[in-house]
Amino acid sequence: MNLKTFSLGAASAVTTFLVVGAVTIAVLSGPFGESPGVGILGVLAGFVVGLGAGVVVAAFAGRLSGAARAALVTYATFGVAFLAIAALQYVNVPGADAVFTFPIHLAVSALLALAAGAAVFGRFGRTPGRKPSV
């Protein structure tokens, strides 16, 4: 394991934590309403599944190449970008709340993730020795 695979594992854990936590809270909010227990269960489920995903990704990320590697970078970048924008709003950067409404927040995170994945695919996605088609 090197710094690259550890970073991909940590970033994938963050993304998985956010997704699983949000889905768990959304699913449990229906039958149980807006109770604090729902939020606690969502955070706990996100933490456990995110930790597992991070360990698995860190163990096997070095074996990936091409489109699989680009997809992993895209997935991992989404969570980190989402968290970075949320941090801007949390520390009250002037104008961040006005600019990053939730739909814009999601869209910017997705665009940053797609740009990172495309950059990785452009650099590592081609077969060695072949010229790219025009």
The answer to whether the beta carbons of residues 108 and 85 sit under 8 Å apart is yes
Which of 71, 60, 84 minimizes the C-alpha distance to 120? 71
Give residue 47's pLDDT. Answer: 96
Last-in-domain residue among 23, 48, 63:
63
Give residue 34's pLDDT. Answer: 76
Q: Whole-model pTM?
A: 0.80
Secondary structure letter of residue 129 according to DSSP: T
Amino acid letter, 4: K
Q: pLDDT by residue (tens digit) across 22-41?
A: 999 989 888 777 778 888 99
Q: CA 11, CA 57: separation in Å to the nearest integer?
A: 10
Secondary structure letter of residue 69 according to DSSP: H
50 burial type by CB count under 10 A (0-12 exposed, 13-18 middle, 19+ buried): buried
Alpha helices in the chain (DSSP H): 3-32, 36-60, 66-90, 96-99, 102-124
Q: pLDDT by residue (tens digit) across 112-134?
A: 999 998 888 877 655 555 555 54
Last-in-domain residue among 63, 97, 115:
63
Residue 9 falls inside a structural domain: yes
Last-in-domain residue among 11, 31, 63:
63
Residue 16 falls inside a structural domain: yes
Q: pLDDT by residue (tens digit) across 57-87?
A: 999 988 887 888 889 999 999 999 999 999 9
